[in-house]
Amino acid sequence: MSKAISIIDKEYQQWLETLVSRYRLCQVRAALKVNTEQLIYNFLLGRDIVEMHVEERWGEGVIDQLSKDLKKAMPTAEGLSSTNLRYCRRFYLLYSKTVEFCPQLGGKIDGNKETLICPHPEGKLLPDLPQHVQSPIFMVPWGHHKLILDKVKGDVNKALYYVHQSIENGWSRSILLNWIDTGMYERSGKSVTNFATTMPDTSSDLAQELTKDPYNFAFAGVAKQHNEAELKMALLNNITAFLVELGTGFAYVGREYRLQIGHTENFIDLLFYNLRLRCYVVIEVKIGKFTPADIGQIGSYVVAVNHQLREEGKDNPTIGLLICRSKDNTQAKYALESSSQPIGISEYELEQFYPAKVEGTIPTIEEIEAKLNQE
C-alpha cells in the first residue's frame, strides 16, 4: 500500500485548484446532464493524470494523495477514491485517440474519429470543458465503463462496440456483462453469407451485422442427445431468450410454417420478421454438419416466401439463415456462390457443463475400486 505523501509543489496545487473548479462548474450543469458531465470530468481528469505525468513528477503515491485532497476539498462529491481515479486514467488512455478536442464551437465526426466539441475559449467556461458532446462514450453510465475497462483489456474497437450496443439497446450493467461473457463482439457479423452479392449495399451491411457465428443456444437447456424437433421446441419454449440471441428487431411469425408450393406442402422450421431490415427471415436449424444440399432447400423457401408473403413496396426481399451444428467455411462459401438468394450460414453452441478437456479424465467406478484394492 502506498504511503501518504505531502505535496507542496506550486504546480501541483494549481492543478488541484483547477480540478476543484472544474468539478464545481460541472455541478452547475449536472441537473440536466448528470451522467454526461461526470463522464466528461472523469475523462479530463484521466487526461491530466496521463499528460502531466503526475506519478513521474510527484511520486507513485500521488494518486492516493490526490484522492484525499479532492475529498477534503469536495466532501460531498462522489467517485473520488484512488481506485476510481485510476479508472479515469484508463478511461482516457482507452479512448484518447477516438476523441478530438476542437478549439471552438463546432466540429464533425470524421470516420471513426469521435468528436468532442468544446466552447470558444472566452467567457467563464474553461477552455477545455465541452459545451456539446457527440462522442457516444459520454452517453453510458460510469459503471458500464468500469465493467468494459475490466473486460476488454485495452481493445478500443471492442469497447466502442459495447458502448454503441448499450446505447442502442438500453442495456443494464448485468445485461452488458452477460453479452461480454458470451463473446458477442467476437460472434457478431461473423456468419458466412452471400449478402454482399445478393443484396443492395445499404441493406447487406446491416444484414451482416445482425448475424452471429456461433449462436449461443445454452438457454435452451438441451444437454442430452436430441433431434431437430426437440431442439426447435426447446428454442421456442425459451422464445424470449431466443429473440434476444437473434438480436435487435426480430419478431416471431411461426414454427413449421406451412407453404403450399405447387402440389406439395412445405414447412419452414422457423419464420421471423426483422423490423430493421423490413423483411422476412427464414431460419432452418440443422443438428448435423452443413451440406451443400441445405442451400437448395432454404433457397426455395426464401423464394416461396417472397411470392406468397412478401408485399411489394412494403417488405424487402426475404433472407435465409441456416444454423447448423458445424460447417466447413470454404465449402459453405462455395455453396453460397451457387445461390442467387441472400443466405447466411452459422453454427450454434449448446451448454457444456464442464470443459471438453476434462471429459475422459474423470475416473470410472471400476478404476476407483481398483485403486482402493491396490491400496
- Checking if the pLDDT of 354 tops 70, the result is no
Please count the other Cβ atoms lying within 10 Å of the Cβ belonging to residue 84. 16
Predicted confidence band of residue 156 (pLDDT cuts 50, 70, 90): very high
Question: pLDDT value at position 139?
Answer: 81
- Checking if the pLDDT of 201 tops 90, the result is no
Average predicted confidence (pLDDT) for the chain: 81
Q: How far is the C-alpha of 7 from the C-alpha of 226, rounded, in Å?
A: 68
Q: Cell digits for 76?
A: 460531498
Q: How far is the C-alpha of 217 from the C-alpha of 219, rounded, in Å?
A: 5
Taking each continuous run of H as one helix and of E as one strand, the counts in the chain are 16, 10
Question: pLDDT value at position 317?
Answer: 94
Give residue limits of the domains in the chain: 10-136, 144-185, 188-357
- Checking if the pLDDT of 6 tops 70, the result is no
For 191-260, what is the HEC assignment? CEECHHHHCCHHHHHHHHHCCECCEECHHHCCCCCCCHHHHHHHHHHCHHHHHHHHCCCEEEEEEEEEEE
Helix (H) or strand (E) holding 319: strand 316-326
Question: pLDDT value at position 226?
Answer: 80
pLDDT tens column, 254-279: 888 998 888 888 899 999 999 889 99
- Percent of the chain at pLDDT above 70? 78
Residue that the C-alpha cell 460472434 belongs to: 187
Q: Cell digits for 295?
A: 442451400
pLDDT tens column, 141-151: 899 999 999 99
Identify the weakest region by mean pLDDT among 69-73, 75-79, 156-160, 359-363. 359-363
Identify whether the C-beta of residue 277 lies closer than 8 Å to the C-beta of residue 319: yes
Question: pLDDT value at position 173?
Answer: 87
Question: pLDDT value at position 32?
Answer: 39
Distances in Å between the Cα of 372 and the Cα atoms of 155, 362, 363, 367, 368 are: 51, 16, 12, 9, 6
pLDDT tens column, 97-150: 888 765 544 444 444 445 554 443 333 333 443 445 557 888 888 999 999 999
Q: Assign residue 286 a region (left: φ > 0; alpha: ψ between -120 and 50; beta: otherwise).
A: beta
- Checking if the pLDDT of 247 tops 80, the result is yes
Q: At what angle do helices 82-95 and 156-169 cross, to 10 degrees?
A: 100
CATH for the 188-357 domain, from 3.40.50.10490, 3.40.1350.10, 3.40.50.300, 3.40.50.2300 = 3.40.1350.10
Pairing of strands 343-349, 316-326: parallel
